[in-house]
Structure 1
Amino acid sequence: MTRRPHRTHLPEERPESTAPLPPPELTEAECRRCGTYIAGLDGRYACGVCGWVNDHSEGHRRLPRADEDPDRPPKGRRRPKQLPWPPPGLSEGPPYPC
């Protein structure tokens, strides 16, 4: 069987943003649902006690665009295939007696 030739993937040049993003500011508040003292970034909060989350639009500054994310994967990269769940054999129970 002959292998099909693949093109080499070179990193794409991404134009840098005109201005660097400022670092996020650590902010603190009380949870609106349970009153727990919580901390967040730029006015965006999530309570670990009751699960309350404020809307992203309530933040102090705009969220960065995807092209401003330095950890964004290169264009054209596909998501990994999801494995079927549950894996074959697990639905039958454990392989040993309990």
Structure 2
Amino acid sequence: MTRRPHGAHRPDAYAESKAPLPAPELTEAECRRCGTYIAGLDGRYACGVCGWVNDHSEGHRRLPRADEDPDLPRKGRRRPKQLPGPPAEARTLLGPGL
């Protein structure tokens, strides 16, 4: 992935704020490649017909930082629960590779 220097937001361009971000606004436009009518959030679009995606810096508002995500787990990452393996009698029938 390459970074695009035009119109990209600088990380220090916004003051630190503890206020929650407002809900995203549903916006609508035509795909620049195929003309399909598409909808997006805050001016960020992706066309499901031809695959065109506009650059994230073209949006109407800044994207939230990771620490502003309300769904961010506050503790460390947890390993997913492992499913139990096959029963012992199935392991003996299938051989030593399991």
Q: Note whether the superposition's TM-score is higher than 0.5.
A: yes
Partners in 2 of 1:32 and 1:40 — Cα distance? 13
1:44-96 CA deviation, whole Å, 9 max, x = no partner?
Answer: 00001011111101000000000010111224214549xxxxxxxxxxxxxxx
Partners in 2 of 1:78 and 1:51 — Cα distance? 34
Runs of 4+ in structure 1 off by over 3 angstroms are: 78-81
What letter matches 1:56 in structure 2?
Answer: H
What letter matches 2:54 in structure 1?
Answer: N
| Residue aligning to 1:72 | 72
What letter matches 1:49 in structure 2?
Answer: V
Count of equivalent residues: 65
Structure 2 segments unaligned to the other structure (5+ residues): 1-16, 82-98
TM-score, normalised by the number of residues in structure 1: 0.60
TM-score, normalised by the number of residues in structure 2: 0.60
CA RMSD, Structure 1 to Structure 2 (Å): 1.7
User: Could you tell me the percent identity over the aligned residues?
Assistant: 94
Structure 1 segments unaligned to the other structure (5+ residues): 1-16, 82-98
1 or 2, which has the higher helix percentage?
Answer: 2
